A and B are shown apart, each in its own frame.
Chain A
Amino acid sequence: MSNILGYRRHVPGTQPKHLHPPYVSSITRAPSKPLVYIPHTLTEATGPLFGKEVIDVKACDLTRQHSGEPLGERIILGGRVLDEDGRPIARTLVEVWQANAAGRYLHKVDQHDAPLDPNFTGCGHTLTDDEGRYRFVTIRPGAYPWRNHYNAWRPAHIHFSLFGPAFATRLVTQMYFPGDALLPYDPIFNCTADEQARNRLISVFDWASTIPDQALGYRFDIFLNGREATPMEK
């Protein structure tokens, strides 16, 4: 047990720095001292695993959680969860949350002057299948103002939370939509130096999963930290 196969560390530039002053909330919350590098031990190479017992199979359709249908543009949001070698991560939990079509969250702190939708909570979850695929039915969230700076607006986005196979692979991120004019102005989207890494947070319009007369399809693939190469592979 002494030689744990760890997970790969992030490639420099492909993740945000903790302190990103244009995102004002980071100024008093980001650590000021350097992080302490630690090896991956059994603690980091294991992690909570969630199975069917925590899943409500209906929770992958955010448009069917109330008596009526939510307002907004219905979308099919799907993709795969893979590791950095492109191997599917099967039966892993994906949690999502989002604003409604008017750009309002069902949350007491959100006082944006836009209507709540009685037919939309904005919360879903699912497990990936054996090929790492997931699929949600939801509505496209609206953009909304926030107080970070003058005339600040968040581009439309959906929050994603994933555990993957280990404590070391935990990821919380946000998915954006292609062609959103607000993206160049958003300090959260732009907090990552590497442009390519940043742009991979933007989903792709997917004609193949678009359902005629019903919903537009978007694809968003998610990559979690891969395994370190074994000594044999080195």
Chain B
Amino acid sequence: MSFNATTSQTVGPYFSIGLTRLRKTDLVGAGGSGDRITISGRVIDGEGKPVPDAMLEIWQANSHGKYAHPEDTQNKPLEPDFQGYGRVGVDENGGFAFSTVKPGTVPGPDGKTQAPHIAISVFARGLLLRLVTRIYFPDEASNTDDCVLNLVEPARRGTLIARKSTVVGALEWNVILQGTDETVFFDC
């Protein structure tokens, strides 16, 4: 017997009532290895206006490139204090920030390795389905061979790569929902 997956609907404007409890903007516990980073940015709509009622969910591997999930059978260490999950709402200016560690590389198709990346789901009023995207890292040689980045036309790949700021470990990355500089979103 087969059923189609249930239809998605927007989170609407009032999702903070239900979804604030599992808010997590600092993904790293007291211990844990890896380079601490913060990623901040804004969510912007097709008119260039900030989106004040959006939410981002974060999913990533730990610094060794291991996901806290039973289907990751790689022989790499788990970090007890690091689950790889985050959820961050935006402020009235569309701004968000979260802190984490830079993930390690993880396996990709055909025995290749994926460049370090963070999977992101974007939810907002006006979005009938979540938007899926990824954050990659600047100055990362392995980006060149990444199976997902290489599916994106070269001119748009930059929307997926965070930018360095003047502060060490502080990265910037924006979500442009629509328009010329639109962030690449995935069918996934």
Contacts and interface: CB of A to CB of B under 8 A. Distances in A.
Interface of A: 1-4, 8-11, 14-18, 20, 23, 25-33, 35-50, 54, 82, 84-86, 95-97, 99, 105-107, 109-110, 121-125, 159, 161, 166-168, 170-174, 188-189, 191-192, 197-198, 200-201, 222-226
Interface of B: 1-19, 21-22, 45-47, 49, 51, 53, 57, 59, 61, 67-69, 71-74, 83-85, 106-112, 114, 117, 119, 121, 123-131, 147-148, 151-152, 156, 177-179, 182, 184-188
A2 B126 contact: no
23 contacts: A14-B5, A15-B129, A18-B129, A25-B10, A25-B126, A26-B127, A28-B47, A29-B177, A32-B179, A32-B182, A37-B151, A42-B107, A48-B68, A86-B1, A86-B3, A95-B21, A159-B14, A166-B71, A171-B8, A188-B128, A192-B7, A223-B3, A224-B6
Contacts of A25: 10, 125-126
A130 B40 CA distance: 39
Given A2-B107, A29-B124, A46-B72, A223 B5 contact: yes
Contact of A125 (B2, B4, B21): B21
Contacts of B45: 28-29
B1 A161 contact: no
B142 to A, nearest CB: 14
A122 B6 contact: no
Contacts of B67: 42-43, 46
B16 to A, nearest CB: 7
